[in-house]
Structure 1
Amino acid sequence: MPIALWALTLGAFGIGTTEFVIMGLLPEVAADLGVSVPDAGHLISGYAVGVVIGAPLLAIAGSRLPRKTFLFALLGLFAAANALSAVAPGYEALLGSRFLAGLPHGAFLGIGSVVAADMVPGHRRGQAVARVLMGLTLANVAGVPLGALLGQLLGWRWAFAGVAVIGAVAALVLRAALPDQPRPAAVPVRRELRVLARPQVLLAFAVVVFGFGGSFAAYSYISPVLTDLTGFGATGVSVVLALFGAGTTAGAVVGGRLADTAPMPTLYLFTGALAASLALFAVAAGDPVLAPVGVFLIGATGFVAVTSLQTMILERAREAPGLAAAGIHSAFNIANALGALLGGAAITLGLGLTAPALVGAALSAVGLALALVLGLSDRRATAVRDEVPDGLSEEVPGAVEPAPAVVG
């Protein structure tokens, strides 16, 4: 893999840290700002909404800029927004700064994935995308546990200040390490949106929203579960957060390889395994041995399928790779917002702290059902394509040709 991929990984590390560190600090933030834990959970959804809105809009706005310049500007915005979070005077200000911090998330990871895919031969695209996403998983191994521990010991504001520094350093390293990128070829926005409206692309996005909404439903409220039910202190919570990160890292590595060989069976198997892991955690949350095992499995099973889905979407929307890749991260953060919202609603209804994990298991089961529909749609599209003379497959609704390497 080209060394410049590590610069993209570092940028993803900073973004992943700020996305997930709040989940380890909800009790502290809620107590300091005088709100309930479910209300503090809206800070997770606020960031996610920023990603959902910012990913497509910034991807379109930056489509005429050199990619290196655009990626550097996105990280600059990210660092500034996290600095604002560190000094936010109240709940509403923090919610607004979290929204701003989410705006560059999807565009950076989306365009970064396209740049990564351009750097390698076609048969290694899955591994290149996995390398970028590994920054998110490494954030869960190191950035999130350390940030949560820092926030618990010194105050939650220090966690966001640390993230702002990570973002600034990542921007400088990226500027120094990433080779100059050619200006992307102009693609009409209407054409890009038409590509994203293909039924198979929309189905794949739906799998992301429901399948991985399950992970976020449980993980958003992991800190109060571990403290109130499992009985862990600050250090124990940080260790379990690191276990989640270890699971996501292992899942991303395995998923990158399986995405290049058997993406659809991988999606079926590990979306189902995610639903089972969430159900297991709901049952075992009070056990200090089994609860960490369940957290590890949630991270591992969920992230195995992530790279397969991203690779499949890029193939189905190959004429608009930048917008499609940004759209993937919008879909993941719709999942984030949906999971946090439904998990918090279950707690507010008095169903207990294990209820978000059960909500997550149900969401992931829906994601598995949608994945099966996507696979059936693929088989039908392939059968139709095989019956159509060469050169006419683009005229057949839903037909998908084997995708070349993603290019800009």
Structure 2
Amino acid sequence: MPRAVYLLGLAIFAQGTSELMLAGLLPEISTDLNVSIPAAGLLISAFAIGMLVGAPVLAVSTLRWSRRAAMLAFLTIFALTHVAAALTSSYGVLLATRVAGAFVYAGFWAVASVTAIELAGPEARAKAMSVLAGGLTVATIVGLPAGTLLGQHLGWRSAFWAVAIASVISIAGIVTTIPRGRSASVPQLRQEFRNLANPQLWLAYATTALSTGAILVIFSYLAPLLTGTTGLSDAWVPVILALYGVGALIGITISGRTADRRPFRTLVLSLTGVVAAAVLLALATGTAWLAVPAVIGVGTFGFATNPAVNSRVFSVAGSAPTLAAAFNISAFNVGITVGPWLGGLALDAGAGYSSVGWIGAGLAILAFGTIPPALRAAARARAGQPAYETASSITGA
């Protein structure tokens, strides 16, 4: 794997830390800016909205830029938004910096995905994407608790300064490793839009959104579930979150090594694991020795779906991957938004925290429903050509 791909993963780690760290900084921000906790929580929603919109908009507007120039521009703006956030005393300005930062972060994801795939080659698509997504996974294990600790001991602004510094380091890495100039194949906007009419892409997007929602509906409510229903003390929450992150890193690493040759089989096994772990969590929320392994299982199997769905999108996108990758980033953010929203509806209705496990299992089962038509479409597209995988290799027929 080229060194540049790992440096792109480092850039995702820096930006992903910003995406995650507010979950641990809300009390400090609320007190310092004199706003309510729910108002501070809107900063998280603002980031999700910025990402949802930013990926396709920036993918189109920078399509004819060199990928190196686009990524450097995105990272520079991202760093500057965090400098502005660290200096402001205005909640409105902080909210605007979250939207702007997420907007360019989504653009970076889209362009970095295509760049990593191009650098790694078609036989290592999933592995390259596992390195990128691994940056976000490491942000869960290291960046989130580190940002929380900085916020608690040095003030929430110190966490924003740390992200800005990490972004500058990432800029230096891209300058030294990503070649200048445009790629060998210049993207064509008309072809990029024409490619979006492919129903296989939208099946892949549905898989992405549903599988992501299955994970996030559980992850978003882990802390109150563990302390309020499972009965663990607050001190155990960061430990279990770290174990969740370790499981996610293991899952995404293994999947990155199998998804290039067996994307559908990897996806089926991963979703099966998500369903099993989510059902176990729903049935055993009050039993710590069962609930904790179930939580780790959700992280392990949930993140294992990531390289498979990314590899699938690039496989279908063919010679027009930029906009296809951007819409896949938006699909991830649809899952990130809808999953917690469904969980909130269930909790507001008095269903209890076991409901998030059942919803997670249900969303994973719906993701399963997208696989048979995708297999049929893939088989038709590959008719008469050598294939790594066919529908019969999944079923054993």
Matches within 5 A, 1:107-146: 107-146=107-146
User: Conserved in 1, the CA contact under 8 Å of 2:51 and 2:103?
Assistant: yes
Q: How big is the shift at 1:307?
A: 0.5
The within-5 A match list for 1:344-355 is 344-355=344-355
- Counterpart contact for 1:138–1:245, Cα < 8 Å: yes
Q: State the match for 1:332 in structure 2.
A: 332
Contact 1:24 1:223 in 2 (8 A): no
Letter in 1 for 2:172: L
Percent of pairs with identical residues: 34
How is 1:6-405 mapped onto 2 (pairs within 5 angstroms)?
Answer: 6-25=6-25, 34-35=35-36, 42-86=42-86, 89=89, 93-183=93-183, 185-231=185-231, 235-382=235-382, 385-386=383-384
- 2:269 aligns to what SS in structure 1? helix
Given that residues 26 and 37 in structure 2 are in contact (C-alpha distance below 8 angstroms), is that contact kept between their aligned partners in structure 1?
no
Segments of structure 2 that go 5 or more residues without pairing to the other structure are 386-397
Q: Indicate the residue corresponding to 2:394 in structure 1.
A: none
1:152–1:357 distance in 2 versus 1, CA, 3 Å? farther
Shift of 1:36: 5.6
Q: Distance in 2 between matches of 1:341 and 1:90?
A: 28
Matched length: 384
Asked if the contact 2:83–2:164 (Cα under 8 Å) also holds between the matched residues in 1, the reply is yes
Structure 1 SS opposite 2:328: helix
TM-score (ref. length: structure 2)? 0.86
Write the distance in 1 (CA, Å) between the matches of 2:221 and 2:160.
19
Q: Partner amino acid for 1:327?
A: F
Shift of 1:287: 4.0
Letter in 2 for 1:299: G
**Contact 1:117 1:129 (C-alpha < 8 Å) held by counterparts:** yes
Deviations 1:378-408 (A, max 9, x none): 33444xx44xxx9xxxxxxxxxxxxxxxxxx
Query: Which residue type is aligned with residue 365 of structure 1?
Result: I
Determine if contact 2:267/2:308 at 8 Å carries over to the other structure: yes
Deviations 1:312-357 (A, max 9, x none): 1101111211222222211111111111222233333333344333
Listed one character per residue, the Cα deviations across residues 284-326 of structure 1 (whole Å, up to 9, x for unaligned) are 4444444432222111101111111111110111121122222
Once residues 353 and 153 of structure 2 are traced to their aligned partners in structure 1, the CA distance between those partners, rounded to angstroms, is 24
Q: What is the deviation of 1:371?
A: 2.3
Classify 1:28/1:366 alpha carbon distance in 2 versus 1 (closer, same or farther; 3 Å): farther
Contact 1:63–1:184 (8 Å) recurs in 2: no
Judged with a 3 Å threshold, the aligned counterparts in structure 2 of structure 1 residues 191 and 167 are, in CA distance, closer, same or farther, namely: same
Unpaired runs of 5+ residues, structure 1, are: 391-408
Structure 1: 4+ residue segments shifted above 6 A: none
**What is the distance in 2 between the residues matched to 1:285 and 1:166?**
38
RMSD: 2.7
The CA deviation string for residues 158-187 of structure 1, in whole angstroms up to 9 with x for no partner, is 433432332232223322333335356443
Preserved CA contact (<8 Å) 1:209 1:335: yes
Distance 1:285-1:362 versus aligned 2 partners, 3 A rule: same
Contact 2:212 2:302 in 1 (8 A): yes
User: Aligned equivalents of 1:191 and 1:136: distance in 2?
Assistant: 31
SS at match of 1:180: coil
Does structure 2 retain, via aligned residues, the 8 Å contact 1:268–1:372? no
Shift of 1:256: 0.9
TM-score when normalising by structure 1: 0.84
Match of 1:403 in 2: none
